[in-house]
Amino acid sequence: MEKIAAGIVLYNPEDTDRLDTCVKSILKQVNKLYIYDNSTNQLSYSFPEGVRYNSCGENKGIAFALNELMKLAASDGFEWLITMDQDSVMPDNVVESYSKAIEEAGDNLGIVCPQVIDKRRKYMQIADLEGSEYVNECITSASCTSIKAWKKIGGFDDWLFIDLVDNEFCKRLIVSGYKILRLNHLVLDQEFGSIQPKGKFSQKFWISLSKMLKNENIAKFSYKKNVSPMRVYYTCRNIIYVNRKLKRYGKTAYSNYNCEGYFGFIISFVLPSFLRAKDKFKVLKAIIRGTKDGLAKVAIEWTIE
């Protein structure tokens, strides 16, 4: 357990009580907690002893912040880092469970992670709570990443800024020969996006229809979504970039949208984002600009060292 530290990325946290719970939930399990603050607003929260706080006073993106946290942990001699969002509340036994898994797994373990669900999305189901299994990708929140593996594959891609950072990193990790181990008895409730569940009848209808048609995208109509033009921009931009960068290793990140290629991405993400948006003109501009910037970016093809 002494090999494991934790790091939290902040961005203008509004709920300081939730942040306090987040900090205390992990600080009692590790000897060192690092904070990288991407906030553009003044943070009105005093961190307890054992926390190292860093900020440059601007939002440099999630990938940049994650890399900074990994560098800080590495400089202090840690071998693993648990990365968290500002609203991640960790189970009491998470570090002990991670430490045991790391000792038993061997040298090719790159990440150990929990199950993650958004309880607001009723179609998301918790898998079997027994045992563990190897998976192809996971989100960075609550994951414990090998600093050695992070260095080996070149860290997180700063240019991505926010969306698909975890998909792109996991893809490089897997093709480099590392494994991602999910501990099924650990379950993290993580809120993805700004959504509002619809009424019980509507939820049941859309979820039942999605099961009947075997298409999880249909279940997403069981909630109302606040579509962010900024997030639409980065998603449209980054899906093109990561697939150009990693093209020799197959398609990347389409699993997020329950599709297998770019045409499916348009049907399952681009079109619904436009149709559900309040300001359709801004979202349309974000789609066009993101697509254009993704194609214009020079994507140096990545290869295994």
Q: Where in the chain is the domain with CATH 3.90.550.60?
A: 4-189
What pLDDT, in 10s, does the model give residues 5-44?
999 999 988 888 888 888 988 998 998 999 999 998 888 8
Whole-angstrom CA distances from 118 to 1, 88, 126, 222, 293 are 28, 12, 10, 13, 31
- pLDDT (average), residues 276-303: 96
Say if strands 80-85 and 132-135 run parallel, antiparallel, or are unpaired.
unpaired
Query: Nearest 5°: phi and psi at 89?
Result: -105, 115
Nearest partner of 183 among 83, 86, 106, 99, judged by Cα: 99
Q: How far apart are CA 211 and CA 123, in angstroms?
A: 9
In one-letter notation, the amino acid at residue 173 is L
Q: Where in the chain does DSSP place strands (E)?
A: 4-10, 33-37, 51-55, 80-85, 109-117, 132-135, 143-146, 179-189, 195-197, 223-225
What three-state secondary structure class fits 189? strand
What pLDDT, in 10s, does the model give residues 120-142?
666 667 777 778 999 999 999 99
Q: Give pairs for 199-207: CB < 8 Å, separation 24+.
A: 203/122, 207/122, 207/123
First to last CA, the chain: 30
Is 106 buried (19+), middle (13-18) or exposed (0-12) by CB count in 10 A? Answer: exposed
The yes/no answer on whether domain 4-189 falls in CATH 3.90.550.60 is yes
Rg (CA), the chain: 19
The angle subtended at Cα 19 by Cα 13 and Cα 21, nearest 5°, is: 165
pTM for this predicted structure: 0.91
What pLDDT, in 10s, does the model give residues 183-242?
998 887 766 666 677 787 787 787 787 778 777 777 777 767 788 999 999 999 999 999
